[in-house]
Amino acid sequence: MKAALIAIALAAASIAALTGIGVAKDDASKDALPAGSVSRADGLEAWKRIEAVVTHPRCANCHVDAKAIPMWTPAGETKTRVHGMNIHGGESRIGAETIACSTCHITTTLPNDPAPAPLHAGIDWQLAPVEFIWFGKSGAEICAQLKDPKRNGGRDAVALLEHLRHDASLSGFIPRAWAPGAGRTTPPGSFEDHVKDMALWGAAGQPCPN
């Protein structure tokens, strides 16, 4: 019995090592750069790259307003439009009032299938909270929201980095924007580039364009 438990523990540990699941929370503090160590100009440069990511359909399609209508960009199309099939996130943001998002967007850490299959992730598919609205907003507006703890889930610059690492540890939505399934475009750079840019922007005091 004891030997079996140890074997399971060892197997779990090696799976974690292979997949990167269970990244320590401290990882975000490793990503963080000392406050003030980055100039405002370099922070604004980092913001430009962040803006290109957060306004990309792979991110913004979920970060929608209180109408709770998800957006999509089918393969081969460049324009984003309203999600087909009359899907509605509702106040629950997970479609509990009508048809649950997870009916089609199943919860699994398996890689995404080629478009037009529904995307999936290791956490339950859902719209971002209303305050985190990005779709249709300007870069300056998103920047102001992202650094405002009253509208970003109470997060300072380091907690934002923690959110990225935590989401990644669950095979969540954020790293998957760069692995959305064949046929879909990806935001510029890589997930790791995005973490680095968020660290630069944070250390520069989260400067925003006017």
Q: Binding to ligand HEC by residue 53, rule CB under 6 A?
A: yes
Distance in angstroms (rounded) separating the CA atoms of residues 13 and 179 = 25
With contacts defined by CB under 6 A, name the span among 2-10, 21-29, 81-89, 202-210 that binds ligand HEC: 81-89
Token duo for residue 130: 């209303």
Distance in angstroms (rounded) separating the CA atoms of residues 164 and 196 = 11
In the complex with ligand HEC, the residue whose CB is nearer, 39 or 69, is: 69
With contacts defined by CB under 6 A, name the span among 3-11, 14-22, 36-44, 170-178 that binds ligand HEC: 170-178
| DSSP-derived secondary structure for 37-58 | SS-HHHHHHHHHHHHHHHTSHH
Q: Binding to ligand HEC by residue 203, rule CB under 6 A?
A: no
- Tell me: cis bond preceding 188? Omega within 30 of 0 counts: no
| DSSP-derived secondary structure for 53-102 | HHTSHHHHTTS--TT---EE--TT--S-EE-STT---TTTSSSTTSS-GG
Paired with 81 in beta bridges are: 72
Q: Between 93 and 132, how does the x/- string for binding to ligand HEC read (CB under 6 A)?
A: --x---x-x-xxx---------xx-xx-----xxxxx--x
Q: Binding to ligand HEC by residue 73, rule CB under 6 A?
A: yes
Residues lying near ligand HEC in the complex (CB under 6 A):
53-54, 57-59, 61-63, 70-75, 83, 85, 87, 89, 95, 99, 101, 103-105, 115-116, 118-119, 125-129, 132, 146, 152-153, 155, 160, 163, 173-174, 177, 180, 187
